[in-house]
Amino acid sequence: MNIENLEAFVYVIHFNSFNKAADALFLSQPSITARIQSLERELDVKLFDREGRHFSLTDKGKQFLPYAQQVLQTYKKGKQQLRQMNAAPHELRIGCTVSVANYMIPELVPLFKQKYPDLQLKLVTASSELILEKLLNKEVDVGLVRNITHPHVDSVRFYEDPIRLFVYQGHPFTSQDRIALEEIGSEPIVFFECGALDWMKIHRLFDTLDRPPNIELQLDNLETAKKLVLKEMGISFLPELCVRKEVKEGLLWPVDIPSLAGITLRTNLVSLKGEGSALGKMVLELSREIDWKRKA
């Protein structure tokens, strides 16, 4: 079925005039008439009763009108969505956690500016819960947060960062490829705690030990935890991404603990259902160009 014929039919009804419909569609009145006649032939029904310059909808026309309006509206919405996906945005407001701002955003921004040189970026740093609130209030376009869900939000996995034990240079554990969790014993631990499910899993592992670990410092900031390990104040369970540079320089050493295998810090990309899907896809596509495992 020809969309232009449907459009002519709906416009004639809307303006209650063939001439006004023609003006609105930048067509001649005979062209509008021809499109209506073509639609009637397609449907094999008479849509209008004509008496000279006056016309009225037939019963069949009245029955068909709401379907024509729905098809036309759906077509226009689909067309608008495609245009939005193809058009480069002028501004992108990203909400993210502190760890994302420190270790992921510096890798994403150059790609954004390379692909969209006129794009203005605005970064808002806050907790995952506050970023979700700002997203729902349309204060940010997309969020990079820990794994949270909401009925009005699309949430997809963005990155999973393995959590490992890291020790400072010269620590006795540097001579061992792997240790059992029980071997941590009385070692002073600098414990980063972000409240995510991933850290709860580590706590549950601690609960299985005969003797609880010696957590001397408990922090909510990754950079502070890392720097305290560098100062030899203790050892720490940290996401790999935040210590790549220090590991490469030989300042920190990863130590494998088999019981920790598979525990990761997950970052999700969140956007409002429907409205932010195009922007979310754009961020995901750009992130795939980054080899996170090689970043130092």
Place of tokens 């209650």: 16
More confident: 113 or 229 = 229
The pTM assigned to this predicted structure is: 0.63
pLDDT value, residue 123: 92
User: Average of pLDDT values for 195-210?
Assistant: 74
Residues making up the chain, counted from first to last: 296
182-202: average pLDDT: 78
Return the pLDDT at 78: 75
pLDDT on residue 210:
82
Distance CA(205)–CA(207), nearest Å, equals 5
* Per-residue pLDDT, 82: 63
| Angle between helices 3-15 and 59-86 in degrees, nearest 10 | 120
Residues 53 and 95 in one domain: no
3-state secondary structure of 171: coil
Other residues' Cβ atoms within 10 Å of the Cβ of residue 25:
16
Range of the domain at 125: 91-158+267-294
Identify whether the C-beta of residue 126 lies closer than 8 Å to the C-beta of residue 248.
Answer: no
**CATH number of the domain that residue 284 is part of:** 3.40.190.10
Note the pLDDT tens digit of each residue in 152-164. Answer: 888 888 888 888 9
pLDDT at residue 292 greater than cutoff 50: yes
Q: Cα separation of 61 and 51, whole Å?
A: 16
Average pLDDT of the chain, as a whole number: 85
Q: What is the pLDDT, as a whole number, of residue 54?
A: 84
Statement to judge: residues 147 and 164 lie in one domain: no
Say yes or no: 187 and 102 in one domain: no
**Predicted confidence (pLDDT) per residue in 163-185, tens digit:** 899 999 999 999 888 898 888 88
Q: Are residues 203 and 58 in the same domain?
A: no
pLDDT in the model for residue 197: 58
Torsion of CA 48, 52, 53, 57, to 10 degrees: -20
pLDDT at 132 over 50: yes
Same domain, 179 and 231: yes
Assigned token pair, 140: 């940010």
CA distances from 74 to 11, 24, 47, 56, 69 (A): 16, 20, 22, 26, 9
pLDDT of residue 215: 85
Look at residues 101, 185, 193 and name the one whose alpha carbon lies nearest to residue 143: 101
Helix locations, the chain, DSSP H: 3-15, 18-24, 29-43, 59-86, 98-103, 105-115, 128-136, 197-207, 222-230, 244-248, 277-287
Q: Does residue 253 share a domain with residue 167? A: yes
Residue 203 or residue 94, greater confidence: 94
Q: pLDDT confidence of 296, banded at 50, 70, 90? A: very low
pLDDT per residue over 29-38, tens digit each? 899 999 999 9
Number of domains present in the structure of the chain: 3
Distance CA 10, CA 5 (A): 9
Are 146 and 272 part of one and the same domain?
Answer: yes
Are residues 128 and 252 both part of a single domain?
no
Residue 104 identity: M
Backbone phi, then psi, for 54, in 5-degree steps?
A: -100, 150
**Average pLDDT for 203-207:** 80
Percent of the chain exceeding pLDDT 70 equals 91
CATH number of the domain at 10, please: 1.10.10.10
Residue 282 has pLDDT above 80, yes or no: no
- The angle subtended at Cα 183 by Cα 181 and Cα 187, nearest 5°, is 105
pLDDT value for 224: 93
pLDDT, position 266: 86
Identify whether the C-beta of residue 290 lies closer than 8 Å to the C-beta of residue 112: no
Q: What is the DSSP string of 129-165?
A: HHHHHHHHTTS-SEEEEES---TTEEEEEEEEEEEEE
Q: Are 181 and 239 in a shared domain?
A: yes
The reply to whether 19 and 66 lie within a common domain is yes
